[in-house]
């Protein structure tokens, strides 16, 4: 067995190697071409931005920002934030056991101390002042008092122990949400950056809407598995400004479907939904909460918690035992305000007009805070449980939330890794052929001719392998075969002397003689 090398790519990241990268390039090239036909221009964004941008745009409560962000520059501004940082680390390392009262007491005391000192420091301006600081404080205080409440309950069963572990986890989790210093973070997604750029460069002065697309790596600290990585790639597009006409929603969706069709992605399924607006959604969320409270006992711990934090997320649940209960919950489509209902109906009509086949999924709520009205998701074949290749939706209000003018917005992000996986599963891979012509040259006299032939063929756009040293005929042909070359160009002493070159087609072994100009012509024609 090969010796394990000392350095390896970090779990959840990977190297993309040829020939697979050819498929990546084909996908990206197709994106450039298709998106351009819909009037989109490419935007290239920084890989890291201020943590607060993501916190504000995506929401501290989301997994993406709350748990999964790679935060950079952990350098404290002053002694107070450094002391608090160290206290936080100490708390994080505490082992808290329900059987050890002392560990519980120390944990609670340390957390209370942190809360008091942090709030004082915040008040005095000694730690990083950010808009959501009070929300972070409230969450931590709530988690701490939840923990205290739990300790009052009888400890008889396993369920209590589960709740105990969860409460400790929650306290540490919310402690981690507090931003002690103004940091930067690797981008977990790019919509926030596009909106930031729209504001920063006054793009609202251009004819609206502005249509932008991007591609590149994103970073989320998720548990790695098939189709889920710490560093993954997205191809996304955003339409900003102008109106929120349903035709825009439909056209954006149409564009993704055209892109996928061009790539011949198999087993596509498009699901759409509307999640209402700031007026009607809160009413629906309250209704959902009321209904969920009635069946709380039948739900798992995650969903139970979400009844309080974000009831919409219960609809995302994949837990088998919860499915029959979720099926009885009210549908948001029945609770949209008049404007949202009209908008949703029109989006569906416009999709039909464009021949885009969709399915409605009332449970499609999307994990990010900024979505409103139209949401959609596209799944593809061969991806197991991580089968979503694209997610998107409308986010009017996000630009304003980031300090810009009121601006309509809609967009999507495609998971390129998953898209590629699905294409590979569907056998739409690039052929393994990595060279067009392998130049099998023999003898010093033939070498100069071989160099010239390589130059001419490459100029004409052919992929050429020119071996650096002389090889025996048999060895050259087997090498050409291994590289998956289509042809071997045989240049021996005789060929060079006669000016008549032999071209061997490797698939069937046929050989034909050509003069130099005829050869180029022949290859061009048979391309
Ligand atoms: P989101 O930004 O969460 O809406 O994700 C959009 C798309 O990105 C998803 O549909 C996935 O295809 C892809 N994606 C999200 N997270 C990951 C990940 N950790 N690894 C690979 N692909 C991902």
Which of 24, 381, 391 maximizes ligand 1 atoms within 8 Å of its Cβ, making it the mutation to test the pocket?
391
**d(CA 161, ligand 1 centre) in Å:** 34
In angstroms, rounded to a whole number, what is the distance separating the alpha carbons of residues 391 and 317? 17
**d(CA 457, ligand 1 centre) in Å:** 42
Q: How far is CA 524 from CA 10, 449, 504, 517, 527, in A?
A: 44, 20, 16, 11, 5
pLDDT of 1: 55
In this structure, how many other beta carbons lie within 10 angstroms of the beta carbon of residue 344? 23
List, edge to edge, every strand of the sheet that includes 435-441.
464-465, 435-441, 485-491, 501-505, 511-514
H/E stretch holding 249: helix 246-262
pLDDT of 432: 67
pLDDT of 456: 94
* CB neighbour list of residue 426: distance below 8 Å, 6 or more residues apart: 264, 265, 266, 267, 381, 382
- DSSP designation for 420: H
Enumerate residue ranges in the chain where pLDDT < 50. 428
Which of 232, 384, 395 maximizes ligand 1 atoms within 8 Å of its Cβ, making it the mutation to test the pocket?
232
pLDDT per residue as tens digits for the range 196-207: 999 999 999 999
Ligand 1 pocket list (CB less than 6 A): 189, 220, 222, 227-229, 232, 234, 388-391, 413, 415, 417-418
**d(CA 415, ligand 1 centre) in Å:** 5
**Whole-prediction pTM value?**
0.81
Question: Whose CA is closest to 440, among 375, 384, 496?
Answer: 496
In angstroms, rounded to a whole number, what is the distance separating the alpha carbons of residues 132 and 137? 9
pLDDT of 259: 98
3-class SS string, 18-56: CCHHHHHHHHHHHHHHHHHHCCCEECCCCCEEEHHHHHH
């Amino acid at each position: 067995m090969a010796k394990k090398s000392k350095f390896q790519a970090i779990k959840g990241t990977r190297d993309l190697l040829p020939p697979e990268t050819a498929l990546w390039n084909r996908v990206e090239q197709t994106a450039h071409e298709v998106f351009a036909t819909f009037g989109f221009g490419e935007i290239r964004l920084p890989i890291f931005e201020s943590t607060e941008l993501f916190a504000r745009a995506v929401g501290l409560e989301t997994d993406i920002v709350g748990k999964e962000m790679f935060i950079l520059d952990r350098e404290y501004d002053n002694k107070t934030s450094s002391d608090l940082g160290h206290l936080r680390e100490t708390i994080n390392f505490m082992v808290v056991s329900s059987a050890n009262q002392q560990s519980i007491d120390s944990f609670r005391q340390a957390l209370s101390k942190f809360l008091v000192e942090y709030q004082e420091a915040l008040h005095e301006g000694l730690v990083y002042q950010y808009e959501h600081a009070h929300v972070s404080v409230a969450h931590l205080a709530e988690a701490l008092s939840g923990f205290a409440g739990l300790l009052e309950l009888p400890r008889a069963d396993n369920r209590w122990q589960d709740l105990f572990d969860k409460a400790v986890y929650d306290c540490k989790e919310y402690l981690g949400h507090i931003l002690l210093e103004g940091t930067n973070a690797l981008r977990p997604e790019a919509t926030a950056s596009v909106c930031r750029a729209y504001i920063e460069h006054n793009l609202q002065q251009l004819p609206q809407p502005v249509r932008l697309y991007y591609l590149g790596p994103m970073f989320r600290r998720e548990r790695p598995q098939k189709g889920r990585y710490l560093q993954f790639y997205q191809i996304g597009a955003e339409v900003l400004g102008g109106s929120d006409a349903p035709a825009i929603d439909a056209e954006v969706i149409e564009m993704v479907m055209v892109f996928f069709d061009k790539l011949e992605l198999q087993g596509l399924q498009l699901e759409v939904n509307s999640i209402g607006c700031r007026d009607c959604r809160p009413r629906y969320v309250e209704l959902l909460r009321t209904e969920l409270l009635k069946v709380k006992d039948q739900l798992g711990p995650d969903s139970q918690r979400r009844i309080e934090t974000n009831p919409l997320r219960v609809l995302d649940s994949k837990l088998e035992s919860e499915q029959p209960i979720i099926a009885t919950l009210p549908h948001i489509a029945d609770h949209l305000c008049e404007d949202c209902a009209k908008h949703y109906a029109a989006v569906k009509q416009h999709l039909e007009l464009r021949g885009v086949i969709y399915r409605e999924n009332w449970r499609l709520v999307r994990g990010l805070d900024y979505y409103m009205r139209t949401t959609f998701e596209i799944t593809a074949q061969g991806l197991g449980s991580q089968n979503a290749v694209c997610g998107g939706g409308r986010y009017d209000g996000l630009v304003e939330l980031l300090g810009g003018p009121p601006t309509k917005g809609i967009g999507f992000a495609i998971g390129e890794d998953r898209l590629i996986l699905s294409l590979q599963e569907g056998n739409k891979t690039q052929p393994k052929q990595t060279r067009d012509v392998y130049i099998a040259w023999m003898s010093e006299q033939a070498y100069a001719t071989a160099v010239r032939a390589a130059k001419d063929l490459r100029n004409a756009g052919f992929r050429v392998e020119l071996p650096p040293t002389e090889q025996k005929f048999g060895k050259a042909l087997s090498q050409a075969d291994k590289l998956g070359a289509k042809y071997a160009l045989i240049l021996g002493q005789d060929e060079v002397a006669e000016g008549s070159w032999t071209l061997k087609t490797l698939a069937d072994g046929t050989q034909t003689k050509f003069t130099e100009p005829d050869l180029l012509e022949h290859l061009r024609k048979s391309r």
